[in-house]
Amino acid sequence: MKLKKQVTVCGAAIFCVAVFSLYLMLDRVQHDPTRHQSGGNFPRSQISVLQNRIEQLEQLLEENHEIISHIKDSVLELTAHAEGQPALPQHPLNGSWVLPPENRPSFLSVSPQDCQFALGGKGQSPDLQMLAVYSLLPFDNQDGGVWKQGFDITYEPNEWDTEPLQVFVVPHSHNDPGWIKTFDKYYYDQTQHILNSMVLKMQEDPRRRFIWSEISFFSKWWDNISAQKRAAVRRLVGNGQLEMVTGGWVMPDEANSHYFAMIDQLIEGHQWLEKNIGVTPRSGWAVDPFGYSSTMPYLLKRSNLTAMLIQRVHYAIKKHFAATQNLEFMWRQTWDPDTSTDILCHMMPFYSYDVPHTCGPDPKICCQFDFKRLPGGRINCPWKVPPRAITDANVAERAQLLLDQYRKKSKLYRSKVLLVPLGDDFRYDKPQEWDAQFLNYQRIFDFLNSRPDLHVQAQFGTLSDYFDALYKKVGIVPGMRPPGFPVLTGDFFSYADREDHYWTGYFTSRPFYKSLDRVLEAHLRGAEILYSLALAHARRAGADGRYPLSDYALLTNARRNLGLFQHHDAIAGTAKEAVAVDYGVRLLQSLTNLKRIIINAAHYLVLGDKDTYRHDPAAPFLGMDETRSSQDSLPERTVVKLGTSPRFLVVFNPLEQERLSVVPVLVDSPHVRVLSEEGQPLPSQLSAVWNSATDAVPNVYQVSVLTRLPALGLRVLQLHKALDGHATPRSSTRLYLHGRDVPVRKPEALPLHVFPAAADDFCLENQHLQACFLGRTGLLQSLRPAGEEQGHRVSSEFLVYGTRTSKDKSGAYLFLPDGEAKPYAPKDPPVVRVMEGPLFSEVASYYQHVQTVVRLYNVPGVEGLSLDVSCLVDIRDHINKELALRFSTDIESDDTFFTDLNGFQIQPRRYQRKLPLQANFYPMPAMAYIQDMQSRLTLLTAQALGVSSLHSGQLEVILDRRLMQDDNRGLGQGLKDNKRTCNRFRLLLERRSTANKVQDERPISFPSLLSHITSVHQNAEALVMPVALEKPALPALRSFVPLATTLPCDFHILNLRTLQAEDDSLPSAEAALILHRKGFDCSLEAKNLGFNCTTSQGKLALGGLFQGLELGSLQPTSLTLMYPLGTASNSTNIHLDPMEIATFRIRLG
């Protein structure tokens, strides 16, 4: 077999040489002047015959292209292990840089079956599709009487005669892990008292019930209570009085959070519960996130939960669902051809989750049954009728009044089982409140239950008590679809709680921390994987005694800090300023710790002789790639000092695919060469580092090196101080001052040309793409993919939204603009700097409030196929303004655009003209795109921001918002703590080859494989760590290549998470391997991808995946490892359907 492959390759090479020789001969014949002078002894007829022959050969080559594509799989195997180094760039006389063709073949081999998935077509359509519901509703906000946003509810008194009403009153306390106070302050002031009272008060009466959801608080309390109290808690959970609902570390924001972090905080909470209380959550509870993503029901279903509850949904949708009795539905994923993703969802019908809005439609009456508001307390009823304590004298009248509300509420649902939450933020923190609520309600229940003529049974219950009773009433197994209940697909963004108050501002609020969140997430994933691999290799070598196991406690802490930040007032940007600082400090502390974990793991894995490994925390073997001086400062990259001895770098690639990347390193000398581990020179580029538009940093240079990085691996590079003959190719820079009188500090040793005026329009190009810019602004104007005659208009501009002059203004939550955006008009024209070099060229435009850099990589593969766009924003002198970046194109997208949900799936959107402008903004955690029949333009983002398409061909993103006032949602502050923030994007223009109208009308869409891979490239940048020691004292270093085979490129290793041992500060021998198979659209042309990409119909052999390690065991489990799925078999071959996420409990060693 091997021989056959080699013969094929050699044969192909000889064939190419022969054709090339023929070309050369022809060239000689046509251009040799001596032959023409002597009249020529080579007949013209023979030349034309030769030309014809060559044309035939070319035709044959075209026809053989198909056959050759079948040989590519065997070539793939041969090339996958060949460590081909990219060739050095050449600089021809015309001045533009050319990279020689890659010396390794690359292809896309996608099986036709894998393309079927995105085409869909199987399965029935749902009863409720949210895009269609939006088109249907008038959004007229009519006054509904006592239920202001609803309608009058009536009933016949005898409706319950045959089937009595079953009422479950569910006491709860919503504890925000940070909002007005920090997490710790809330814990000390309120939460610990709530939980302490809970243990005491629940034991007084076995009929009492309580639910709890935030494990971040619960675990802190658990660490501080006695063994006796812990035993009491376990008893309360065991006998069904206390239920842990959802069981995540927090109740996450569902708009801005990324699916890695959503899953991670769910695992952290579930693992804690299993280990400490031995309980597995059954029902989801999300009363406070500001809108709901369809990713959450998928994650809960895959974690084996059977039902869930939501509350903050647009009031018009609540009214419509109430009127049609669709408030309970089976929530299904758009791509699901059957029912495997279905989960029962209960939507609360009224304005809020507080007591006045949960017993029934009339808040004036419900408030009278919130016994914390009894006269003499600190809070009262705004409707001016206070609660009255229940006595024998008034119980009949009071119970009848409440029952009327219960009956009216129950008319909105299909079953005769009713859920009535009883609680609010930080409720039940004093024993008196427990007594007031529980004793008064119990008197009402006792009265109602003693009167058979009322046909009602009322009791305290947990959330699962309610769902169990519902399933029992309709006679089906929990998790199945109750007869007649509708199936719904789609999501619940964007949310409005009243009038035109759309909660679309928080999609961007505090973008600095939204960005830091994703940096921490990428580091956590990288640290988890590298730590797991280093530990497995150390155990196999018997060296785990010397490995710093204490890193595991730092890893746990980082998981918990990232988890805490997914809370719906944290990543949302809707907490008080001091609380935002507290989150920032936690994020930065964990980021620093994760860099240490990565350094320790990398140190062990690159050592040629593992016996020389010594962990010295005081003198780390590797330095960090960058440092941050405080929680709200931008990173500063490490400068490597060059001396007479070579300096070594270790580069970590956190992706599961090999990548060809341009890796930047700062050095203190322009005389530098970069060599591979074996001493081969690598393609590189030297450029200046700038403090500002015109001020080059003295004695600091960036050397960018093109190198091939192994999947999940570590590559060793050498930096040498160069002799002049071997210096790195230098970039050259043009600086256009636009008539401004600004001092210029030139970089030493690099060419800089200064022009006092503005530039003419100009273009940058590589082998894939030409990008053209407006000279006077330096902003993008058009994009033209290689091989296309006509470019596309893709122009960018900055815009500013103001806020209303009326009483309701934009704040941390709400976006209430004063009309359409106005063009950003800075007082000075921009300084534009154009830099060109062999590996990348870029255009930097410096405005007063934003510096934008558009970079085009001149390299084969993923990085050269899209534009890298970054915006450094500083609006600290703005008042009530929001800065937006808009791309306007000639793509005929009409009113349709697409945004992602949590980086996991794509949701088509439609611009609704009947709704105000702010209603048409949506969250964009990872990407948004517009398309027509020919093209798709995708904006990929490295941080969550708000996005919209307000006109055909447009895509716009809000970069930052500075607002001077509170928006009356409880925060009590505006957004005035803006930071200098760097927003990073990629702009990808793709050609659609097989689009059709029918497909495009479906409420489902997928990115291309290239788009998926571009997104992970952007979100998991390579980490460059300089070796602290200089050469003489240095042990031998070897690159680390962990994977023995190439993963199919629709598979993503979401995590490889070492599980905790009995002592939770130490690692066990097991890890959770979490895989995601991405759904992708094949209709986008994938030419010259420059990376090897094959798909395998979802099949993957895990047995031989990790080089040098054995897979000791493999057990498929539910998403959060609570339930084994099937029996552990000896087979290590797995299969995943598209879009599925699967968790495996594995043992590596």
**What span, in angstroms and rounded, lies between the C-alpha atoms of 580 and 570?**
7
DSSP sequence for 457-521: EEEE--HHHHHHHHHHHHT--TTSPPTTPPEEES-B-S-BSSTT-B--GGGTSSHHHHHHHHHHH
Comparing CA positions, the residue from 12, 359, 340, 28 lying closest to residue 171 is 359
**Inter-residue contact 655 to 1017 (CB < 8 Å):** yes
**Chain-centroid distance, C-alpha 554:** 23
Residue labelled with tokens 């300089």: 1026
| Two structure tokens written together for 462 | 């947990």
How many helices and strands in the chain, by DSSP H and E? 21, 49
- Identify the active-site residue in 114, 176, 288, 960: 288
**Inter-residue contact 437 to 171 (CB < 8 Å):** yes
Q: Are strands 659-667 and 696-709 parallel, antiparallel or unpaired?
A: antiparallel
Q: Are strands 487-489 and 328-331 parallel, antiparallel or unpaired?
A: parallel
The answer to whether residue 288 is catalytic is: yes
Contacts of 142 (CB under 8 A, 6+ apart): none
Q: How does DSSP classify residue 99? A: P
Beta strands in 584-729 (DSSP E): 626-627, 636-637, 639-640, 647-652, 659-667, 672-676, 684-690, 696-709, 714-721
DSSP sequence for 982-1039: EEEEEEEEEEBSS--HHHHHSS-B---HHHHHHHHHHHSPPEEEEBSS-GGGPPPB--
Single-letter code of the amino acid located at 94: N
Q: Is the dihedral of CA 858, 864, 865, 869 positive or negative?
A: negative
Single-letter code of the amino acid located at 755: F
Crossing angle of the two packed helices 551-565 and 215-223, in degrees rounded to 10:
140
DSSP sequence for 148-179: TTS------GGGGSSS-EEEEEEEEEE--SSS
Contacts of 81 (CB under 8 A, 6+ apart): none
**Inter-residue contact 481 to 307 (CB < 8 Å):** no
**CA distances from residue 220 to 186, 217, 225, 570, 656 in whole angstroms, order as listed:** 12, 5, 9, 19, 35
**Inter-residue contact 337 to 122 (CB < 8 Å):** yes
**Inter-residue contact 1035 to 608 (CB < 8 Å):** yes
**What span, in angstroms and rounded, lies between the C-alpha atoms of 112 and 128?**
31
Contacts of 1062 (CB under 8 A, 6+ apart): none
Single-letter code of the amino acid located at 869: V
Angle at 46 between CA 41 and CA 47, to 5 degrees: 90
Comparing CA positions, the residue from 912, 944, 916, 995 lying closest to residue 130 is 912
**What span, in angstroms and rounded, lies between the C-alpha atoms of 656 and 1048?**
9
**What span, in angstroms and rounded, lies between the C-alpha atoms of 637 and 703?**
13
Residues belonging to the active site: 288
